[in-house]
Structure 1
Amino acid sequence: MTPMNLEILKEAIIDMRYLLNRGYNRKTAADYVTSRYKLSKEERAIIFRAVYPDEQAKSRLKKLINIEEVAGNTLLIDGFNNIITIENAVRGAILIKCDDGLIRDISYTSRKFKMTQYTETAIMMMFETLKMCKAKESIFFFDEQISFSGEIASKIRQKMREEGINGDAKTSKRNDTEIISKDGIIASSDSLIMERANKIFDLAGYIVNSKFK
C-alpha cells in the first residue's frame, strides 16, 4: 500500500464534506476530490466511507446507543458487515472513525467471502460482547449472495447453543430490507440500514475500541 500523505488527506476530507453538504452525489464528489488530490485507492475509500453531510451525521449520532442500553432488547446484527470489520481489525488493516460515529473498514466486501482464522477470532469476540450485552435475543442476518453465508449462519447458531445465548442466525436475499423490517436495536454500519434505524449499537466499533486501542 502506498504511504498516505495525511495533510493532503485532511484537505481532501474537507473538500468532500463541503461538496456533500451542498448536495453533491457521493460518487461524483469522491471522483472529483480523488482527481484533484490524486488520491490512492485506499485514500479514496477513506473519504468515501468516512465523510458525511453534517445533518446526516448528526442524525445518525443521535441514534447511537451504548452497550448498557442493549440489555433486554432484541439485537439485529448485520452479520458480514460486523465480521469483516472485526476481521480487518485483527489483521491490522486500516479502520476509520467516521463522521456519523461508526467505525468502518475500507475493504470492499466480496461475494467470494472466505472463512479464515480471522473469522473464527471475530466470531469469538462478538460472542464475548453478546454475553456482556444481555440482549433479550440476538439475531444475525447473512446475505445469501455472499459465499459461505449458510455455513457461517449454521456456525453461529451452534455457537449460540453452546454459549447459552438466545437468538438465531439466518440467511437473507435482502439483508437491508429484512433487518429494517424487524423491531429491535440494529448493529450495522450500512448506510441504507442506518437511515431507517431508530437505534444503533456499533457492535464492531465497540469491539475495536475495547480490544485494539
Structure 2
Amino acid sequence: MVVLNRIYTRTGDKGETALGDGARVPKDSARVAAYGTVDELNAALGVARLHADGETDAALARIQNDLFDLGADLATPEPDKDAARPHPALRVTGAQVDRLEAEIDALNARLSPLRSFVLPGGTVLAAHLHVCRTVARRAERLVVTLAAAEPINEPGLRYLNRLSDWFFVAARIANDDGARDVLWVPGQNR
C-alpha cells in the first residue's frame, strides 16, 4: 500500500530523484525521461476521459492504471542477476499487451478500411486521443533510448507500441466510427 503523508521531501532539490530500487539518479536521466513521459501521457489521458463515457471511459480507465504499472516498471531498473530484492518489482506483462491487441482488433472490426491518412481532429474526444497517441509514441522513443543503454522489461516497450495503435483506432471510433475522420489530402494547398 502506498502512503503519501508528505508531498514535498526536499530530496530532489539538487536535481536528483530516487528510483524504485532506491538508487539516486539525475532527473534528466533516460530512465526518468521515459517514465516521466508515461506520466505525461497518463495526464493527457485524464483530459481525454472528460469527453468519454461508457465502455470507452472504462477502457481508458484500465489504460490509466496500466500506465501507472508501466511507470513503476520503468522506475525500477532490472536487478543484477546476483542481486537479491526483498519484493519483486511490478512489471508490465504480455497479458496486458495481449488485451490491447484484442481490443484493437475488436474496435478496428467496426471501421471501414482507410484510403488516406487521418489528420488529428474530428470530435473533441478523437482530438484528445490523437494527442495521447503522439505522447505514447514519444514515450516509446524514450524507452527505446533507455533500452539501448540498460536492460528494460520488454513487454513494457511492446505495450507502448500497441497503445499508440489503440489510441489511433479509438480516435476513429470517437469520430462516429470513422465517418467524421479528417482525411489528409496530399498537396491540397499548393
Q: TM-score, normalised by structure 1?
A: 0.26
Structure richer in strand, relative to its length: 1
Higher alpha-carbon Rg: 2
Structure with higher RCO (Cα < 8 A, 6+ apart): 2
